[in-house]
A = this chain, B = another copy of it.
Amino acid sequence: MTQASIITIGDELLIGQVIDTNSAWMAQELNKSGIRVARRVAVGDVWDEIWTALDEEQKYADIILITGGLGPTADDITKPLLCKYFGGKMIVDEAAKQNVLDIFNKLNRPIIERNLKQAEVPDVCTVLQNKRGTAPGMWFVKNEKVFVSLPGVPHEMKDLMTDDVIPRLVKQFKFPTIIHKTLLTAGVGESFLAELIKDFEEKLPAHIKLAYLPNYGMVRLRLTATGFDAAETEKEIDNLFETLKLLVSDYLVTDIDEPVENVVGKLLIAKGKTMCTAESCTGGYIAHLITSITGSSKFYNGSVVSYSYEAKEDLLQVDKNILETRGAVSEEIVLQMAKGALKHLKSDYVIAVSGIMGPGGGTPDKPAGTVWIAVGNKESLQAQKFYFRFDRSRNIQLTAMNALNFLRKFILSA
């Protein structure tokens, strides 16, 4: 089976200043075309280390994809290194030069020598034109292995991969079909799920793998099938997936690989209903998750992020006395927030949250991590208390996930 390796270059990855999101995206796209990524390696902007990685990765892979290190600044050494590695000399690529000139023209910025250097490429590569930036992609072949160098800027890399690299790879190699089927469960732990589907898992054939992906109190289950007969492989995994869905039906949130906010959105669209949010402790994160969905304006009206007491009173008409006697993190307040949001944001459904995300702000009877969540509609509201014991960022995420799942269940039961 044809395998790929991804090499990402940049000191920022090795000191942890930047999180590598490119590799995940590339792996997804390669997988869709039947290319298995066997390894991902990150190395710094260090000549010997890049050279070694190129030597090493061709032992494990037929296709080596390299990102990063192509910028116009002195710390970017990938291009001269590749030129030497593949035994070429640098020449100006006229199409790449025209592209640099066009980009600077459009931006109305003065061009400097350093920018024009971006159009130089080793004469032993096929140049992949980069419409989004000044660093062209480069395609090398050595010992029947394909090496592709791409810029590290995500949108430039993505366009090059989609428009150029993957179509070329598909033409050159014969790839098997790889099919993933993923479902999402809530309200059940990984170990308990494993017991529930133990017999199913033990009987899986070798070319079908099952993975458990726990995340924020939910667990995704993923089946992966590999085979050269696409129709046969698809049929086989479809049947197994149906069995798996039945086994976990009590906990099933969705049978495709999508986040819970998508599930809520689709439910609302199907019913022709709308929703809104009133967020205190999550500070707009639930709104952000929902509005990250393309087309969310069809079902989402907005949020009141009421971080201060005054905002809760002015925008949501929360009772000042109750705020002072019971505190903002209480059942009464979160229900009043829900009512206020339903009214002012004129929506059918609502989520309201109020809590203490930490690290500060806790008290003995309301420690950091205490959260009240309310969901409902004009007829009925439900409130529930949660307690999360993690750091601020994780508490915010857990609150959002649980709130969205709480509303999902309310809509289904209403």
Contact = CB atoms under 8 A, between A and B. Distances in A.
A258 interface: no
A187 to B, nearest CB: 12
Given A20-B24, A189-B109, A209 B11 contact: yes
A42 B40 contact: yes
Interface string A403-414: 000000000000
Given A27-B16, A41-B39, A392-B294, A307 B311 contact: no
Given A73-B191, A73-B212, A74-B194, A301 B310 contact: yes
Interface of A: 10-21, 23-29, 31, 36-45, 49, 52-53, 56, 60, 71-75, 109, 112, 114-115, 153-155, 180, 182, 189-192, 194-195, 201-202, 209-215, 220, 222, 224, 257, 274, 276-277, 279, 282-288, 290-292, 294-297, 300-308, 310-311, 314-315, 344-346, 359-361, 390-394, 396
B45 A211 contact: yes
Nearest to A24: B16
A359 B56 CA distance: 41
Contact of A284 (B15, B21, B52, B287): B287
B11 A31 contact: no
A304 B301 contact: no
Contacts of A224: 11, 15
